[in-house]
Amino acid sequence: MLCNTYKMTVGPMHSVTLYHWEPNANSGKPMLALMEKGVAFESHYLDLLKFDQHQPDYLAINPQGTIPAMLHGERVLTESTAIMEYVNEEFPGPRLMPEDPRDRWRVRWWMKLMDQWLGPSFSMIGWKVFVGPAVSSRDPGELQAAIERIPLPERRVAWRKAIYGQFTEEELKESQRRVALGIRMLEQELANRPWLASNQYSLADINGFNLAYALPLSQPALSNDELTPNILRWLRAIYARPATKACWALGRTNLVKRVTVLEQPHSGGGG
Amino acid sequence: MRMTLYHGEPNGPSLTVLATLFAKEVQAELVRIDLESGQRHTLPCAQEPLVAMSVEGEGAVLVVAGEAMTDSVFIACYLDDVGPGAALRPADPYGRWETMHWCRQMTERTAPAAAYLGCWAHPPKADAALLERIGSVDLRARWQQIAAGKFSADHLTDSRTKIHQATEKIEARLDGRQWLMGRFSIADIETYAWLAGMVRLVPAAFAAKPRTTAWLERVRTSPAVAQALALSRTGEPAASWSVGPEINRWG
Ligand SMILES: N[C@@H](CCC(=O)N[C@@H](CS)C(=O)NCC(=O)O)C(=O)O
């Protein structure tokens, strides 16, 4: 069987290469999972703002032109959440999925909500205020050509809207509604237990941190020590982990400098 | 452990969970609910966040020791972990990655398309009082669009394209394989559950795809899926649809 031939050529001892952007969103998930497991990997930084992810050499690895992608020996893996589960199962090191099957269900449920419901709303706002403005002043012809090279039609639409400021009021309002509701849901869940989906640190926390670490800064009226003490406690606990520090050191833009609020201890008493 | 499964006609998410339950030989009390009239929103657990906010839309709910679980692929993983029946995911991490990756593409790209086309051809009907009870604002909005008969031409076209892409992927994957992951797995069940109803609605996507056609029949007649399909009350489970996941609004 195919799996067996792979088994012989790939194992925990084979080299790992990760193609990623900032330790943030989907890139940050496998980065932090690898760091937590203590797996050495070759880091390939792709500059999303320079469209590195749509260049032919990267498309040969991931034809969808999205980041991240991971090479392990001859294997090519995509989809950040599925990569994290692979990293957890394939390599020794601390277990990042709980033992209890129902806890594992909860980890996956939360990751899906963040990946497919909450994350896209964060992204839309982030692309409007950060990604779009960061590239829109470039040569119009060059931008046009860059957009046309994007393989996934959905991503092409998103880039076009970000570059030309075409997100509608209605869709931005809907994203803001989801962000506000998502914050309330996270706060409520984190009031129930120390970590997001179970009583142990898991992939759900890694996923959630990469989504939410900038919340106190980007949504200060909705997420702060008074309104969401449990979110702040949780973000600070993850931020303090050595793996997170090591991961953050791979960032090159201002994105990673936005977390000073997490370096401060809790301001409102309690924990 | 005491389990109760609330499920609808054996199609889509209900079929995935029922077939997995039978394949894994897990005992549960089966309670039929009418997903097409929104009856899920009358369950005592309906307003729990992990039920109300399930990304999957109208699907089965498994209650285990008082905790209500949603999302068919992840319920299936849970049942695979706890049931004595043959494993429904490969044992090695790479095979498991392939399974989760496959199911992600299925739930993110194919399921919203299938549910949209399914609801267009076989509209679910909930009365106004029931719509009021729907906890998720965006799920309620999808119900209201369907109730008003509003289907966008763009979404219908895009959904047909997504079904074509799914069957192309399946046809390629089945080259040299009987089952998507080598052995009968959650991926076969989940993929069949969304696509069975598309054979009639997007026939061109299945034309000249002999491997896909043979695989559909293989899944349909596999013991656990056959047992689930036998629970149909309409005799035509693949024509039974309720509101599904939303069509990707970001990319
Ligand atoms: N579902 C994929 C999504 C990957 C994705 O869309 N990544 C974004 C960055 S967070 C990207 O590559 N965007 C590049 C582009 O749109 O050109 C995953 O989780 O890996």
What CATH number does residue A106 fall under? Answer: 1.20.1050.10
Residues A65 and A114 in one domain: no
Please count the structural domains in chain A: 2
Q: Are residues A214 and A137 in the same domain?
A: yes
Interface of B with A in 131-160 (CB under 8 A): 137-138
Say if residue A83 is in the same domain as residue A149: no
Same domain for A164 and A144: yes
State the pLDDT confidence band at A106, using cuts at 50, 70 and 90.
very high
- Reference A112, options A87, A154, A79; nearest CA is A79
Residues A135 and A242 in one domain: yes
Q: Do A85 and B137 lie within an 8 Å CB cutoff?
A: no
Domain boundary among A39, A69, A90: A90
Please, which residues 145-164 of chain A have a Cβ atom closer than 8 Å to chain B?
152, 154-155, 157-158
> Is residue A56 assigned to a domain?
yes
Residue-averaged pLDDT of chain A: 92
Residue A120 in tokens: 């896209």
> What CA–CA distance (Å, rounded) separates A184 from A199?
20
The predicted pLDDT at position A260 comes to 77
Look up the domain containing B20 and give its range.
Answer: 1-245
Q: Do A158 and B251 touch (CB under 8 A)?
A: yes
For residue A64, is it within any domain? yes
How far is Cα A197 from Cα A108, in angstroms, rounded to an integer?
A: 9
| B231: phi then psi, degrees, rounded to nearest 5 | -80, -5
Protein residue whose Cα sits closest to atom 17 of ligand 1 = A66
On whether residue B251 sits in a domain, the answer given is no
Let me know whether A63 and A142 are in one domain.
no
* Mean pLDDT of the A33-53 span: 97
**Residue A110: domain span:** 101-263
In a domain, A17, yes or no: yes
pTM: 0.96
Which ligand 1 atom is nearest residue A158's CA? Answer: 16
Q: Strands B61-64 and B3-7: what pairing?
A: antiparallel
Q: Which helix (H) or strand (E) element contains residue A4? A: helix A2-9
| Within a domain: A270 | no
- Kindly state whether residues A150 and A234 are assigned to the same domain: yes
On the question of pLDDT at A8 being above 60, the answer is no
Ligand 1 binding residues, C-beta < 6 A: A 25-27, 48, 53, 65-68, 79-81, 150, 155
Residue A173 has pLDDT above 80, yes or no: yes
Cα dist from A228 to A173, A187, A209, B119, whole Å: 22, 6, 15, 39
CA distance B226 to B151: 33
Min CA distance, A165 vs chain B (Å)?
Answer: 15
Q: What is the pLDDT of residue A261?
A: 79
What pLDDT, on the 0 to 100 scale, is given for residue A266? 60
CA torsion sign, B117 to B120 to B121 to B125? positive
pLDDT at A270 over 50: no
Ligand 1 centre distance from Cα of residue A102 (Å): 29
Confidence label for A11 from pLDDT (cuts 50, 70 and 90):
low
Listed in sequence order, the DSSP H helices in A23-118 are 25-37, 56-59, 80-90, 101-113
**Could you tell me if the ipTM is greater than 0.90?**
yes
The count of domains in chain B is 1
B161/B142 Cα distance (integer angstroms): 21
CATH for A72? 3.40.30.10
Q: Which residue type, as a one-letter code, is found at position B170? A: I
Flag if B249 and A102 touch (Cβ within 8 Å): no
What is the Cα–Cα distance from B156 to B158, expressed in whole angstroms? 5
Is residue A269 predicted with pLDDT exceeding 50? no
CB contact under 8 A, A157 and B251: yes
In this structure, the answer to whether residues A156 and A195 fall within a common structural domain is yes
Among A90, A113, A147, the domain-final residue is A90
pLDDT value at A5 more than 60: no
Q: pLDDT per position in chain B (251 positions), as tens? A: 789 999 999 999 999 999 999 999 999 999 999 999 999 999 999 999 999 999 999 999 999 999 999 999 999 999 999 999 999 999 999 999 999 999 999 999 999 999 999 999 999 999 999 999 999 999 999 999 999 999 999 999 999 999 999 999 999 999 999 999 999 999 999 999 999 999 999 999 999 999 999 999 999 999 999 999 999 999 999 999 999 999 988 87
**CA nearest to B217, candidates B236, B199, B243:** B199
In a domain, A168, yes or no: yes
Q: B50 and A106 in contact by Cβ < 8 A?
A: yes
Establish if A7 touches chain B: CB-CB under 8 angstroms.
yes
| Same domain membership, residue A239 and residue A140 | yes
Residue type, B85: G
Q: For position A264, what pLDDT does the model report?
A: 75
Residues of B in contact with A109 (CB under 8 A): 50, 54, 69-71, 74
Which residue of A lies nearest to B108 if distances are taken between CA atoms? Answer: A116
Q: Is residue B105 part of a domain?
A: yes
Based on the domain organization, do A47 and A82 belong to the same domain? yes
In this structure, the residue with its CA closest to atom 2 of ligand 1 is A79
Evaluate if residue A250 carries a pLDDT over 80.
Answer: yes
Q: What is the mean pLDDT of residues A143-154?
A: 95
A180-223 residue pLDDT tens: 999 999 999 999 999 999 999 999 999 999 999 999 999 999 99
Nearest CB to A185: which of B49, B93, B104? B49
- Pairs of CB atoms within 8 A across A/B: 97
Does the structure show a pLDDT above 60 at A3? no
> In B42-64, which positions are buried (b, 16+ CB within 10 angstroms) versus exposed (e)?
ebebbeebbbbbbbbbbbbbbbb
Q: Residue B98 is part of a domain; what is its CATH number?
A: 1.20.1050.130
Q: Where are the alpha helices (DSSP H) in A69-227?
A: 80-90, 101-113, 119-126, 132-135, 140-148, 153-163, 169-192, 203-212, 215-218
**How far does the CA of residue A25 sit from the closest CA of chain B (Å)?**
14
pLDDT value of residue A255: 72
Domain match, A242 and A140 both? yes
A196 and A110 assigned to the same domain: yes
Q: Which two tokens stand for residue A144?
A: 């046009």
From the alpha carbon of A83, which atom of ligand 1 is closest?
20
Distance in angstroms (rounded) separating the CA atoms of residues A250 and A20: 10
Residue B69 touches chain A, beta carbons under 8 Å: yes
Inside any domain, residue A269 = no
Tokens for B245? 């996941």
Q: Is A116 on the interface with B (CB under 8 A)?
A: yes
Residue located via tokens 């067996």: A4
Q: Could you report how far apart the first and last alpha carbons of chain B are, in Å?
A: 40
Judging contacts by C-beta atoms under 8 Å, the chain A residues touching residue B68 are: none
A268: in domain: no
Give the pLDDT mean for A112-125.
Answer: 97
Q: Is residue A40 part of a domain?
A: yes
- Residue B250, in any domain of the structure: no
Please give the Cα distance from B68 to A77 (Å, whole number): 32
What is the arithmetic mean of pLDDT over A51-61?
97
User: Crossing angle for the helix pair B111-121 and B186-195, nearest 10 degrees?
Assistant: 30
Cβ of A174 and B50 within 8 Å?
no
Domain membership flag for residue B107: yes
- Asked if B218 reaches chain A (Cβ–Cβ under 8 Å), the answer is no
Domain boundary residue among A68, A90, A112?
A90
Query: Which atom of ligand 1 has the smallest separation from the CA of A159?
Result: 16
pLDDT band of residue A6 (cuts 50, 70, 90) is: very low
Q: How far apart are CA B146 and CA A206, in angstroms?
A: 37
